[in-house]
Amino acid sequence: MSASYLGVVESTLHWMLYEQMKAGLARREERIVRSGREKNWWDQTVDWTGKFGAAGSAKLIAAVLAYPHEVARTRLRQVPLDGSKPKYTGLMQCFRLVWVEEGLMGLYGGLTPHLMRTVPSAAIMFGMYEGILRLFNTPA
């Protein structure tokens, strides 16, 4: 369970980074309004896709930083088929053993499919959330 609880770090990083990126988008909007200039096509694009992109970017960064916990979680679930003693007995032992046997690449094995699943999912979820808030004129 310790590896599953460690997954909270990824979610926390994701939310924190997303909120920081949203604040950056809000500051950008304020600068445009204060300048009094007309919004060009890029400004309009950022208005509609900025939060979607921020959500995906935040998830990408959080997932890359926290991914080793996914490897540990998966390996800790492995039970030997022959009934022998499990190879991985605890979270720290699992991290150490993977590091010693496989190095850094062992801690990031399977990252690409993980990112292909989680980044678009997060971008869609947060994008829809922000879109619905905007649709109903509800402040985020």
Instruction: Quickly list DSSP for 65-133.
Output: HHTHHHHHHHHHH---TTS---S--SHHHHHHHHHHHHHHHHHTTTHHHHHHHHHHHHHHHHHHHHHHH
Cα distances (Å, whole numbers) of residue 128 to 43, 49, 54, 82: 20, 11, 13, 47
Domain-located, residue 118: yes
Domain-located, residue 83: yes
Domain-located, residue 119: yes
Residue 57 has a pLDDT of 95
Domain-located, residue 59: yes
Domain-located, residue 113: yes
Domain interval for residue 92: 2-135
Residue 139 has a pLDDT of 73
> What pTM does this model have?
0.83
Number of domains in the chain: 1
Domain-located, residue 115: yes
DSSP 37: P
Domain-located, residue 140: no
Report d(CA 24, CA 48) in Å as an integer: 15
**pLDDT of 27 higher than 80:** yes
74-99 pLDDT per residue, tens = 998 887 777 788 888 889 999 999 99
Domain-located, residue 101: yes
Residue 140 has a pLDDT of 64
Q: Which of 15-19, 26-30, 35-39, 51-55 has the highest mean pLDDT?
A: 15-19
